[in-house]
């Protein structure tokens, strides 16, 4: 026996409802995919950004080293020059001069830069090795500010 007309109608409605549900499902699915694509693209863009411009903190320059250890009262270079440094201090300053020796100063002859940084490295190495009593004196001469600034810094030692 056929179902009463009312029931058949309900059946059709239910079918339509399920079809709509499926479309909504698909839309949701597409939405999720779109969101995932956006997230992935964002991630890639962020990574590309990182590659293109390193964060300022990662960008070590002669200037950033000078500002970090040659500026404030009681800064690393002054502790070493005043014979008030620890062994760690001496090693750190040695590493810094090794690092700036590989960089290009804004001004001046590359040979002069190599000489100046090389002298500072030799003197600091001597201090670290505790080979001579005159090492601090030698470091003081080799890290003399104005000579190097006049040769290699824009505006000299102002
Ligand atoms: C071996 C060479 C050398 C020696 C030694 C040296 N400097 Fe420098 N310094 C430089 C150069 C080159 C710059 C410029 C870096 C730049 O602008 O890119 C600089 C820049 C600086 C700056 C940053 C200034 C600014 O804001 O632009 C300070 C501060 C500084 N030096 C302090 C000192 C002091 C204090 C001493 C001595 C205790 C000293 N430096 C010894 C080479 C040297």
Question: pLDDT by residue (tens digit) across 17-45?
Answer: 665 566 556 566 665 555 555 556 666 66
Instruction: Count structural domains, the chain.
Output: 2
Residue 157 lies in a domain: no
pLDDT at 129 > cutoff 70: yes
- Ligand 1 is surrounded, with C-beta below 6 A, by 61-63, 66-67, 70-71, 77, 105-106, 116-117, 120, 143, 145, 148-149, 152-153
Mean pLDDT of the chain: 83
Q: Model confidence over 83-111: pLDDT tens digits?
A: 999 999 999 999 999 999 999 999 999 99
pLDDT computed for residue 24 by the predictor: 54
Residue numbers of the domain that contains 130: 57-152
Residue 158 lies in a domain: no
Tokens 């190599």, residue located: 114
Q: Select from 108, 121, 145 the residue to mutate for testing ligand 1; criterion: most ligand atoms less than 8 Å from CB.
A: 145
The token pair that represents 134 in the structure block: 């005159």
């Amino acid at each position: 026996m056929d179902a009463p007309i009312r029931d058949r109608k309900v059946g059709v409605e239910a079918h339509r409802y399920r079809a709509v549900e499926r479309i909504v499902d698909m839309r949701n699915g597409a939405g999720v995919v779109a969101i995932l694509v956006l997230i992935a693209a964002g991630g890639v863009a962020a990574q590309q950004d990182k590659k293109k411009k390193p964060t300022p903190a990662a960008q070590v320059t002669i200037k950033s080293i000078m500002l970090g250890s040659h500026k404030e009262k009681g800064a690393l270079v002054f502790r070493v020059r005043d014979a008030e440094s620890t062994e760690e201090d001496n090693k750190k300053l040695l590493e810094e001069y090794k690092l700036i020796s590989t960089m290009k100063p804004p001004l001046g002859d590359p040979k002069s830069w190599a000489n100046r940084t090389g002298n500072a490295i030799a003197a600091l190495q001597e201090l670290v090795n505790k080979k001579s009593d005159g090492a601090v004196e030698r470091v003081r001469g080799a890290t003399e500010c104005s000579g190097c600034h006049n040769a290699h810094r824009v505006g000299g030692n102002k």
